[in-house]
Amino acid sequence: MLVRPRSGPAGATLFEQVRVFDGNALKPPQDVLIVDGRIASGSAPSNATRVDGRGKTLLPGLIDCHVHLGGGDGTPPWDSKVPNTDAQAAALVYSGVTTILEASRDTDIAAMRRRIASGELAGPRIIGSSRIVTAPGGHPIPMFRAIVPWPFASFFIRGRVAEAASEDEARRAVDREVDERPSFIKIVYDDIPPGSARLSPAVLRAAIAEAHARGVRASVHIGSPEEAIEALDAGADVLMHVPADGPLTPEQARRLASSGVPIVTTSRVWAVLGAAERQQLTFTPLEKEVMPPGTAEAFAHRPASYRMSGFPEEYLRSFAERDGYLRGNVTLLVRAGARLVAGTDSGLPGVFHGAALHRELQTLVGLGVPPAQALLMATSEAARAIDPAADYGAIKSGMRADLVLIDGDPLADISATERILGVWQDGRRMR
């Protein structure tokens, strides 16, 4: 996996006779010029680098709306290691993912941004979120305790979670997080595993109201259809995950669609977790390129004695059922016209940074989403959902030149997005 950090001036590049998915539709072969990091019009300067685009397609840089940068590396919980955040960042860009919504604060985002901007590190544009505001002992605390070795789990939790038992505590937690200037306050309104602690509706409302009072949007992790509607009514700006704890009713789907609130798809997570439990994961060539060495072997050799502490066996056996609910709910929301944007939950076991977004697109198309609509979910629609000031996510004059050149036509074969020939970020070639 070879990817270059950003360095030096962007210069000029001319893509010649390339099909263009401009963030709205697939356009016939044409020339695309980038100058000084932006999509440009007019004639190419004589010193422009020329790229033969015949038979190829140019996409806007892809956008993953649910990434844990600094979370897990995608390795199995029985083989967990200290996350390699630098490798995660490089894997995202190598896979054509040039912008991410960091779903919660899993690393020092400000430091990562400085290193990426200086050219020290190859990495995506990061839209940041806060630490997770959750109930005392609520998700993701049981998960961290199960997969992070003692005594490191307590340090891990303190750096990533803000617990709130009351409305006042929720407001204070939000105020502390706002001081670090995230784009989103991340709130968990779900019980994982079932029956564990969860915020009350009143505390959820208080947290969202305080975020809005401080001029920050709120993203809310939900699990059930009822939680999705309650989070919507409480003022959530983004819903993290399509519900998977049960089926949406047509009326609930219509409510979610009519709200216009973006919903992040994460349509593969339960299928992947279930396959990992059964030791039946398969990996694409791109996943094999970006996953940590030895990961495939680790998934294939689960220790017979391994148990995920704190998670009942019946919950682990429910993954296939939850995957069925999730897939059905994605289909229902698409038909209802909901505002869906692509996200992966990268960092979970088997969900690898960068490569996961391509698998997400394939899953969405497999559920009946037209390929052009799936691409919108990972480009222009995603940009509008996570960044009101976005000047990326589309290929048109004046926009940032975040671009992915692929071999083939993704509307005929969505897996063509994995056949990456080059990645540009702000006009600089990264791969």
Instruction: Reply yes or no on whether the pLDDT at 26 is more than 70.
Output: yes
Instruction: Reply yes or no on whether the pLDDT at 6 is more than 90.
Output: no
| Residue pLDDT, tens place only, 252-261 | 999 999 999 9
| Residue pLDDT, tens place only, 91-120 | 999 999 999 999 999 999 999 999 999 999
Contact call for residues 297 and 212 (beta carbons, < 8 A): no
Confidence of residue 9 (pLDDT cuts 50, 70, 90): confident
Q: Residue 294: which residues within 8 A CB-CB, separation 6 or more?
A: 79
Burial pattern 267-295, b for ≥16 Cβ within 10 A else e, equals: bbbbbbbbbbbeeebebeebbebbbbeeb
Instruction: Reply yes or no on whether the pLDDT at 151 is more than 80.
Output: no
Instruction: Reply yes or no on whether the pLDDT at 338 is more than 90.
Output: yes
Q: Percentage of the chain with pLDDT > 90?
A: 87
Distance in Å from the first CA to the final CA of the chain: 9
Give the mean model confidence (pLDDT) for residues 328-346. 98
3-state secondary structure 377-395: HCCHHHHHHHCCCCCCCCC
Between CA 58 and CA 401 the distance in angstroms is: 11
Helix (H, G, I), strand (E, B) or coil at 211: helix
Between CA 291 and CA 272 the distance in angstroms is: 15
Between CA 420 and CA 423 the distance in angstroms is: 8
Burial pattern 316-325, b for ≥16 Cβ within 10 A else e, equals: eebbeebbeb
Instruction: Reply yes or no on whether the pLDDT at 153 is more than 80.
Output: no
What pLDDT, on the 0 to 100 scale, is given for residue 400? 97
What pLDDT, on the 0 to 100 scale, is given for residue 316? 87
Q: What are phi and psi of 61, to 5 degrees?
A: -50, 135
Instruction: Reply yes or no on whether the pLDDT at 149 is more than 70.
Output: no
- Which tokens hold the place of 372? 């052009």
- DSSP structure class, residue 77: G
Contact call for residues 332 and 256 (beta carbons, < 8 A): no
Between CA 350 and CA 72 the distance in angstroms is: 10
Confidence of residue 5 (pLDDT cuts 50, 70, 90): confident
Task: Out of 79-83, 182-186, 210-214, 221-225, pick the least confident.
Answer: 79-83
Look up tokens 């979370």; give the residue. Answer: 71
pTM over 0.75: yes
Provide the mean pLDDT of the chain: 95
Between CA 191 and CA 379 the distance in angstroms is: 31
Between CA 84 and CA 82 the distance in angstroms is: 7
| Residue pLDDT, tens place only, 170-214 | 999 999 999 889 999 999 999 999 999 999 999 999 999 999 999
| Residue pLDDT, tens place only, 371-408 | 999 999 999 999 999 999 999 999 999 999 999 999 99
| Residue pLDDT, tens place only, 288-323 | 999 999 999 999 999 988 888 888 889 989 999 999
3-state secondary structure 214-260: CCCEEEEEECCHHHHHHHHHHCCCEEECCCCCCCCCHHHHHHHHHHC
Instruction: Reply yes or no on whether the pLDDT at 367 is more than 90.
Output: yes
Residues forming a β-bridge with 286: none
Contact call for residues 431 and 3 (beta carbons, < 8 A): yes
Q: Percentage of the chain with pLDDT > 70?
A: 99
CA dihedral 401, 407, 410, 413 (to 10 degrees): -160
Helix (H, G, I), strand (E, B) or coil at 330: helix
Instruction: Reply yes or no on whether the pLDDT at 7 is more than 80.
Output: no
Q: Which structural domains are found in the chain, ordered by start? A: 1-60+392-431 (2.30.40.10), 62-391 (3.20.20.140)
Confidence of residue 282 (pLDDT cuts 50, 70, 90): very high
Between CA 394 and CA 371 the distance in angstroms is: 16
Q: Residue 85: which residues within 8 A CB-CB, separation 6 or more?
A: 69, 70, 107, 112
Confidence of residue 3 (pLDDT cuts 50, 70, 90): confident
Q: How many Cβ atoms from other residues are within 10 Å of residue 251's Cβ?
A: 10
What pLDDT, on the 0 to 100 scale, is given for residue 144? 85
